A and B are shown apart, each in its own frame.
Chain A
Amino acid sequence: MTVTVDQILFLLSALVTLGAAIIVVTARNLVHAALALIATFFGVAILFVLLQAGFLATVQVVLYIGAIAILIIFAIMLTRRVMQDSGPQTNQQWWLAALLSLALFAALWAVFQQVPGLQNVTGTQVIPNDSLQRLGFGFVDPNQYMLPFELASVLLLIALVGSIVIAGEKQ
């Protein structure tokens, strides 16, 4: 079986993503975990590029790394006084959590084996050339997805105003 270039690219980016994700959940130092989270987001962005969703890769980098990961690092720095990276980082039921995660992965794997012909779906569909234009029009077209777009905007506004209220100093 010959291994093609896109398979090698996929395996490399999958390795980066999963390796960084495992560092996120097992690191003792929270700042190391946050940096590994940034690496995971980068790996996911590379996977989006491989799936020919370039706009989504850009949005992933700008939003997840540029906003959410920065927020997480700020929260780590603001809550650091007591949790001094010493002592166990996992609670007492960590073995049960590991068992549950492995069981879920095994169950999902079993589901994938059940689907007939899943191995044959190899992406011979043609990606339209103007997919980005279609995406843009889909967001503003009242017949398509304008309503979820506006609702997401309102949700973001409410969430950010709310988080400022929650985290603000009580004068």
Chain B
Amino acid sequence: MVPLSWYLVLAAALFCVGLYGVLARKNAVAILMGIELMLNAVNINLVSFWHYLNPQVMAGQMFTIIVLTVAASEAAVGLALIISIYRRRNSVIAEDMDLMKW
């Protein structure tokens, strides 16, 4: 019998690992991987609340699917931006992107 708090702690830990990845990494693609980790932590939270509190209502799973869809589109746009930046500046290090217009 797994209590709800275990799932919440796991989701919190995954979120914090993703947050460290976003804040501490240089490569822009690695930052995007940290963002995906954070979104997965949110999904774990949503599904565990659905399972433990009100599984009769499908809103929990629906929310999760919408979050997943938005994460997919955001990953696509983010990676397209990174590829476009790489074509111009020949670098994907986030610290080097220090100009708004060149």
How far is it, in angstroms, between the C-alpha of A25 and the C-alpha of B34 when the chains are bound? 7
The reply to whether A118 and B47 form a contact with Cβ atoms under 8 Å apart is: no
How far is it, in angstroms, between the C-alpha of A148 and the C-alpha of B68 when the chains are bound? 13
| Contacting residues, chain A, for B76 (C-beta < 8 A) | 71, 159-160, 163
The reply to whether A56 and B61 form a contact with Cβ atoms under 8 Å apart is: yes
Distance of B40 from chain A, by nearest CB (Å): 5
Identify A156's interface contact among B58, B73, B86, CB under 8 A: B73
The reply to whether A75 and B91 form a contact with Cβ atoms under 8 Å apart is: no
The reply to whether B48 and A79 form a contact with Cβ atoms under 8 Å apart is: no
| Contacting residues, chain B, for A51 (C-beta < 8 A) | 7, 47-48, 50-51
Quick one: CB contact mask for B64-83 with A, threshold 8 Å, 1 for yes?
A: 11101111111111011111
The reply to whether B95 and A135 form a contact with Cβ atoms under 8 Å apart is: no
Quick one: CB contact mask for B1-29 with A, threshold 8 Å, 1 for yes?
A: 11111111110111111111101111101
Tell whether A59 pairs with B68 under 8 Å between CB atoms, given A51-B48, A105-B16: yes
| Contacting residues, chain B, for A40 (C-beta < 8 A) | 14, 37, 40
The reply to whether B73 and A78 form a contact with Cβ atoms under 8 Å apart is: no
The reply to whether B65 and A112 form a contact with Cβ atoms under 8 Å apart is: no
How many residues of chain A get a CB closer than 8 Å to chain B's CBs?
Answer: 88
| Contacting residues, chain A, for B40 (C-beta < 8 A) | 40-41, 44, 64
Distance of A170 from chain B, by nearest CB (Å): 9
Looking across the interface, which residue of chain B has its beta carbon closest to that of A127? B55
Q: List 18 A-B contacts (CB under 8 A).
A: A6-B2, A22-B17, A25-B20, A41-B40, A47-B44, A51-B48, A56-B47, A68-B75, A72-B29, A72-B75, A72-B79, A75-B83, A78-B86, A97-B19, A105-B16, A108-B15, A125-B55, A159-B77
Interface residues of A (CB under 8 A from B): 4, 6-7, 10, 14, 17-18, 21-22, 24-25, 30, 33-34, 37, 40-41, 44, 47-48, 50-53, 55-56, 59-60, 63-64, 67-68, 71-72, 74-76, 78-79, 81-83, 88-91, 93-94, 96-98, 100-102, 104-105, 108-109, 112, 118-123, 125-128, 131, 134-135, 138-139, 145, 148-149, 152, 155-156, 158-160, 162-164, 166-167
Interface residues of B (CB under 8 A from A): 1-10, 12-21, 23-27, 29-30, 32-34, 36-37, 40, 43-44, 47-48, 50-56, 58-59, 61-62, 64-66, 68-77, 79-84, 86, 90-95
